[in-house]
Amino acid sequence: MSKRSSVLAGGRFWHKEWFNYLGIAAGSLITALGLVLFLVPNKIAAGGLSGLATVIHHLFGWPVGLLILVLNIPLFLAGLKVLGWNFGVKTLYGTIVLSLLTDAFALVLQAPTANPLLAAIYGGLMSGVGLGIVFRCGGSTGGTDLAALLFRHFLHISAGMGLVIVDALVIALAALTFNIELALYALLGLFLTSRAIDAVQEGGGYAKAALIISDHSAAIASAVLKQLGRGATGIAARGLYTHQQREILLVVVHRSEVSRLKGLVASVDSNAFVIVSNVHEVLGEGFRQWEE
């Protein structure tokens, strides 16, 4: 690689890193707003260290942001000793930003609702969107994720099971501290948070994938190419009942193009077998481009 190419590659790397740190800050900001406006004032302890901090806040009155930071310190030190630096400086950065923003917002913002259902819904969604942005930028806010990694190391269980254990313990503590009803709202908030994280991480299902089985696959592929401007991939297959060799077409389109695609297939072969499914994320020509 030439010196000029190395400089350009280095410039792109640092540009992307700055963008990632800005994204982590933006995601932390949204998460902090979800906590301050909805979850904390309504005693919705929706799992994780933020949920534990919510419980402690209502017991002793200590600031939630400071509690998140303090609770993360032993986890971070244990992770540093056991896992090394692989879990990233971005985890420390995300934790500090979330903690500072949470306490700063708590000084100037008031909860817009005292309805626990609305608080669980909006707080859960905002926290999920914020955390999804943080994760997508390669960061973390520590807490549950780091605890799950430590569970996996010491107890030899999966990270997913570690997450379930930590969140279950926090919600059980909320049930004992507050009441069962608020714990149920916390469970709803936790579910919405996880769904929002998945939506941000994987995309919102804006595309559809179609598998088309037909004796006229070449004609269908030509129509898709010419009339929809989409590509098609032929996959060799054999019917296990008929033992006939056929070509399955894989076509990925935007949601708005599904009806046109089905119409094209029907116009060529009304006996075609078509399977349409959601696609969370599509990278490449005609869709979202790969990030450099």
pLDDT, tens only, 222-280: 999 988 888 899 999 888 887 788 899 999 988 778 888 998 999 999 999 999 988 87
pLDDT digits (tens, 9 = 90+) for 78-122: 777 766 665 567 888 889 999 999 999 999 999 999 999 999 999
Which residues are 212's β-sheet partners? 249, 274
Q: Let me know if 275 is exposed, middle or buried by CB neighbors in 10 A (0-12, 13-18, 19+).
A: exposed
Same domain, 232 and 116: no
pTM given for the model: 0.74
291 domain-assigned:
no
Q: Strand 273-279 and strand 207-213: pairing?
A: antiparallel
98 in the same domain as 15: yes
Looking at the fold, whether 43 and 172 belong to one and the same domain comes out as yes
Predicted pLDDT at 292? 46
Q: How confident is the model at residue 8 (pLDDT cuts 50, 70, 90)?
A: very low
Asked if residue 273 lies in contact with residue 239, where contact means CB atoms within 8 angstroms, the answer is: no
Q: Is the dihedral of CA 58, 61, 66, 67 positive or negative?
A: negative
Helices 64-83 and 144-155, axial angle in degrees (round to 10) = 30
User: Using CA atoms, how far apart are residues 199 and 224, in angstroms rounded to an integer?
Assistant: 29
Separation of first and last alpha carbons in the chain: 17
Task: Tell which of 202, 226, 251 closes a domain.
Answer: 202
Label residue 140 by pLDDT band (50, 70, 90): confident
Residues 127 and 244 in one domain: no
How many domains does the chain contain in total? 2
Domain boundary among 202, 230, 259: 202
Please state, in angstroms and as integers, the Cα–Cα distance from residue 199 to each residue in 132, 215, 267, following that order: 8, 37, 35
Q: Give the confidence band of 7 by pLDDT, cuts at 50, 70, 90.
A: very low
**158 and 218 inside one domain:** no
- Parent domain of 272: 207-279
